[in-house]
Structure 1
Amino acid sequence: MIDTLELTEIPKEDEALRTEIRAFLNEAVGSMPPDIRARSWLGFDADFSRRLADRGWVGLTLPVEYGGAGKGPFARFVMSEELLGAGAPVSAHWIADRQSGPLILKYGTEAQKLFYLPRICKAQAFFCIGMSEPNSGSDLASIRTRAVPSPGGWLLNGSKIWTTNAQHSQYMIALVRTSGETADRYKGLSQIIIDLSLPGVTVRPIKDLAGDEHFSEVFFENVLCPEDALIGIEGNGWAQVNAELAFERSGPERLYSSVVLVEGWLQHCRQIGVADTATAATLGQIVSWLAVLRALSISLAGKLARGESPALEASLVKDLGTEIEQAIPRLIGDVLASSPDTPVPASLRKTLVYLEQMAPSFSLRGGTREILRGIIARGLGLR
C-alpha cells in the first residue's frame, strides 16, 4: 500500500542555499533566450556543469570522502528547483548526479566508488541510462541485450534506444541479461557499467520533432567489458533498477519542464496589463496544481532523508507532475489564442512552440503513464 506522505518543510540550512545559487544563475543564464532556457535538463553544456562542480554543487548528496558535499536530499531539492526554475542547461551532469552516482554508492564496490564518484562530482564523467530496447515498448523486463562471462570480462551484444545524451556520455549503466532467457522476465538481469569508447559500441542520435538530438540508439557488437563492470550482485538487476528509478522519478524535474513558459507568459501579461477572467483562471489552475505537487515532491525528499524508499509514491507524483507539465503549454496557448488581436512577443511564441512539440514526451520519459499507473494500482492492491 502507498504510505501517507507527511507534509514536510525544507530545513532552514538547506533553504539558505537559494540566495547564492540564484546569484550565480542570474549571472550565468540570465541573458539566455527563454526558448533556450526551456530546454533546461535537456540542455547539454559541459562547461556549465563544470562551473557548478567547481562550486561543489554537483554530487551534493555524495559523501565527502568520494568528492561530494555530504549533504542530504533537501539540499539537492533546492539546487534542482533553482536550476530548473532558471532554465539552466544541466543535462550534462544530471543523470550522473541524480541516479548513477547514488546507485554506484549503494551497490558498487569500493573500487568503483573511488573511480567513478570523484569524477562525477568534478563533472568529468557523464552517464547515460541503458534501459529501453527496440521493439519492446514500455516492457522493461523483456531485455534481450546480453552480457556473458568471457575471458577478460563480459562479452556484450544487443542494443538500447531512447538513451538520453549517449553521444555525449563517457559511460552507460545498462540493464542487461546475464543468465536465462527473455521469457524469464525479471530473473537473470544485471546492471553493468559500459565505457562507451570501447570497440564495438556504436551511437546513433535520433532527431526529435523539435529538431534536437537528445536521444540515441546504441548498439553493442562483441563489446568486451572488464570483469569489474558488474554493479552489485549478478541477477539482482531488477531490484537495483527499481531503486534507481525511484531517484529518477522523485525529483522536481517532473514538475518544472514548462516553468520557463509560465514565467514568460506572466511577464507578457504584466507588460500588456491583462487582467481578464480567463487569464486569472488559468494562472490559478497552474499555480494551485504546482503548489500541491511541489509539496508532494518535498515529502518525497523527506522520505529519502529518512532513509526510506519512495519508489511507489514517486510513481504517483511523477504521473501527476507530467500531466501538469503537458497541460501548461496547452492552457497558455489557449489563453493567448483567445486574444488574436494582441501581439505575442517572438520569444514567448518560440518557447510555446518548443514546449508544444516536446510535451508529448513528458509522460514517456522515466516510465510511461500506463506503466506508472500499473505500479500505483499494485501499490493500492487493485491488481
Structure 2
Amino acid sequence: MTRLVLVGAGGMGRAWLGTILRNPDAELAGVVDLDLDVARAALAEVEGQIDGVVAADVAVGQDVVEVARRTGADAVVNVTVPQAHHPVTTAALFAGFPVLGEKPVASTVAQALSLVAASEVSGQPFLVSQSRRYNPHVEEFRAQAAVLGDLGALSTEFFKAPHFGGFREEMAQPLLVDMAIHQFDLARYLLDAEPVSVYCESFNPPWSWYSGDANAAAVFEMSSGARYSFTGSWCAPGVETSWNGSWRLSGANGSAVWNGDDRPVLDADGEPGEFSDPGQEIAGSLAAFVAFLTRGAAFSGEVHDNVLSLAMVEAAVESAGSGARVQLDDVLDRAYARALADEQREDVATALKGWSSVRTALSGGR
C-alpha cells in the first residue's frame, strides 16, 4: 500500500482526493492546504460519499514536508495552483519524497527546467500527470499511427463554449495557456516527435465572454518533418467537439480519425498491433504512478519528457504576440538563462550549469 499526501484541496484537489481513496493500492495519509478549513471540508465531503472513509483518521496541515514526515508517507501528489508547483515540488523532492504533479509541470518553462535539475540532484522522481494520455482510445489511435507509415500531418479541432467564471475569463490567453497543453502533449505522443517551431495567431471574437483571446490557430513543425495544426475556440457554441478535441492523422499509407470520445477509425491497409488499456484520466495516471513506485513500471510523463509540452504553449503564446514564427530552441535557451538567474539553490544551479544543452538534458543525456 502506497501512502500518499495530497497537496491542494480545491476543486481539482477534491477530484484527486476521491481518486486516491478509490485506488486499492493507495492510502491517503494526509491532506495539505494553506486553508485548513478547506482541507477539512474536502475530507468531510468524501466521508459521506466513499464507504470506509473517516475524515478524523487523515492528517491535515499547511506544510507538505511536515505532514509527509509525520504520517510516514511514501510520496506526494501536488495539485496546487500552477504558481505553487515549483516551490511545493522542490520542497518535497529535497525532503526525499517522489512527486506526482498536476499539469502544467510549472508556471513557466524556466521553473520547469529548475524542477528537472531538482529531480536529478535530489535523486527523487518527479512525474507529471498529463491525464489525457490515459485513455484507451489514445492508445488505439497511436497503434493505428504505426500502420500509416511516414506521418505527414496531424490536426486537432477544439471548439467548446464553457462559462467558467473566475480567473480563466480574465486570462490573456485562456485557450492556449489553460487548455491547449493537453492537445499539444498528445500531438508529441501520437507523432513520437518533438516541436521545432510554431506560427500561431490568436484573437477574441466580438461575442466572447473572455477578456483575453479565446480563439487560436497554430502550426508546429515537428522533428520528424510532420506538421501539427491546432485550431480552437472557447467561445464556440453549437456543434461542440469533445473535450479531447477532434483529430485527423494522415500518413503515406492512409489516414485515421478520432472524434475524441469514441474509438478511432483507421482507413488504411493493415491492422494495428495490440495496445493496452492505461485506465482513464487521473485514475489511470495515479495507478501508473503507484505502479512506478512499487514495481518500477513505465510512466508516461516523467519531468524530463514533459517540459517540451509546456514549451509548446510558451512558444505559441510568444508567436501570437509577436506575429512571427518562433523557434522552440530559442524558447528553451531563454528559459534556461532565466532558470539560472532565478535559481535559489546552489546545488540545483550547479546541475543546470552542467548541462551541455537543454535538449540534451531533457533527453536524459548530458
Would you call these one fold, judging by a TM-score over 0.5? no
More helix, by proportion? 1
Q: TM-score, normalised by structure 1?
A: 0.29
Q: TM-score, normalised by structure 2?
A: 0.30
More strand, by proportion? 2
